[in-house]
Amino acid sequence: MIDVPEDTIAFISHPKAIMHQMPFPKPHLESFENPLRYQIAERYLEKRGALDRTIRIKAPKATVDDVLLVHSPYLVDTVRILSDIGSGQLGESAYASPDLLRTALLATGGAMKGVDMVLSGEVKHAFVFMRPPGHHATTSNSMGLCYFNNIAIATKHALKNDRIKRVSIIDFDDHHGNGTSEIFYANADVQYISFHEYDYENFGLGHYAEIGQGEGKGTNVNIPLIEASPDISYDTAIKRILEPALKAFKPQLVMVSAGYDAHYADPVGNMSVDSRTYWKFGDSINKIVHSLNAVGSVWVLEGGYNPFALGPSIFASLEGLARKPKPELEDQVERELNELIVESNIEVIDKVLETVTPFWSKK
């Protein structure tokens, strides 16, 4: 075993992660998931020296067989064929480009590499800074800017290791990770905990009543927060739901769908958090990993569409994960607190606990 200091972080990226781009101008939703968000955020992290403290690794390419751990052959073939053609639509807000297949395979390969490095003991944590994102991709459908579900594939890959019997996936992207949720919905070995913005007027997927099925009942934990939720609501949900859920499930590995589009300055999400919440996730996940004696955590980039907010947000997560104090960053500005939203979220959190915790004790 290589002797590494406690809490070493691998930072996995690739210069070719910028290759795929959907052919849309602003203000189309598709235009926000672009190479620029990647380049500006990476430059910010480099300038702040955040990456000097990490082990930098180039993402390897996944194989088609790896992708088939989760996805249907039909989905994989469609991505391949449309990448060869160079254009075409795969699903809602999921379009091909000539470089789609190779960029998507690198993103998946990066997530798997993060798992390998953590499982081998080379590092305690890995941050996979790759694109396109993955958590909306279901078994057979690409959608919502996502093609291959990187975190789901990496989780299945981790479960092939004899030491790993249970994996928790924490998803704090602004949107419900419908793909990841579907893939593991009846799987008792994978716990999925999602913090997301929820539209209580047009009920869609991501409601707290979705708690998993069959053997997997109680392992799907949705935390559907109200639009414009502030940092304090995330803080409360971390303390009252995330920490007890992980303690009840006792994962050997923690995976994180790290989406940063709940940031108040994000053009896609409508929440009201800043980098302080992203530090909190890093700090809290670090502590849980240690208290549960888990092998480590693997973070996989999902959303985050304001390039100038993405850098500070990831920086704050990395600081928390490295047990550094909460940094003061340029995006941390005072915003008006809506007490009604805070109170309503407390009711939501109570409802989540009331619905799902009865299934935890049976484990």
The residues that are catalytic are: 136
For the bound state, the minimum distance from the C-beta of residue 177 to Zn ion, rounded and expressed in Å, comes to: 8
For the bound state, the minimum distance from the C-beta of residue 175 to Zn ion, rounded and expressed in Å, comes to: 4
For the bound state, the minimum distance from the C-beta of residue 222 to Zn ion, rounded and expressed in Å, comes to: 15
- φ/ψ of 185, rounded to 5, equals -60, -35
Q: How far is CA 223 from CA 79, 188, 245, 272, 351, in A?
A: 32, 19, 12, 16, 9
How many angstroms separate the CA atoms of 128 and 161, rounded? 20
Task: Look up residue 263 and give its DSSP letter.
Answer: B
Identify whether the C-beta of residue 263 lies closer than 8 Å to the C-beta of residue 271.
yes
For the bound state, the minimum distance from the C-beta of residue 180 to Zn ion, rounded and expressed in Å, comes to: 12
Task: Look up residue 169 and give its DSSP letter.
Answer: E
- Count Cα atoms within 13 angstroms, Cβ side, for 5: 8
For the bound state, the minimum distance from the C-beta of residue 134 to Zn ion, rounded and expressed in Å, comes to: 11
Nearest residue to Zn ion, scored by beta-carbon proximity: 303
Q: Which amino acid, one-letter code, is at 52?
A: D
Applying CB under 5 A, the residues found at the interface with Zn ion are 173-175, 259, 261, 303
Angle at 49 between CA 43 and CA 51, to 5 degrees: 75
Identify whether the C-beta of residue 140 lies closer than 8 Å to the C-beta of residue 308.
no
Coil vs helix vs strand at 168 = strand
Give the residue with the Cβ less far from Zn ion, 173 or 319. Answer: 173
Identify whether the C-beta of residue 303 lies closer than 8 Å to the C-beta of residue 177.
no
Give the residue with the Cβ less far from Zn ion, 174 or 283. Answer: 174
Give the residue with the Cβ less far from Zn ion, 32 or 279. Answer: 32
Give the residue with the Cβ less far from Zn ion, 182 or 261. Answer: 261
Give the residue with the Cβ less far from Zn ion, 9 or 258. Answer: 258
Beta carbons within 8 Å of 330's beta carbon, 6+ residues apart: 312
What are the tokens at 188? 């008792």
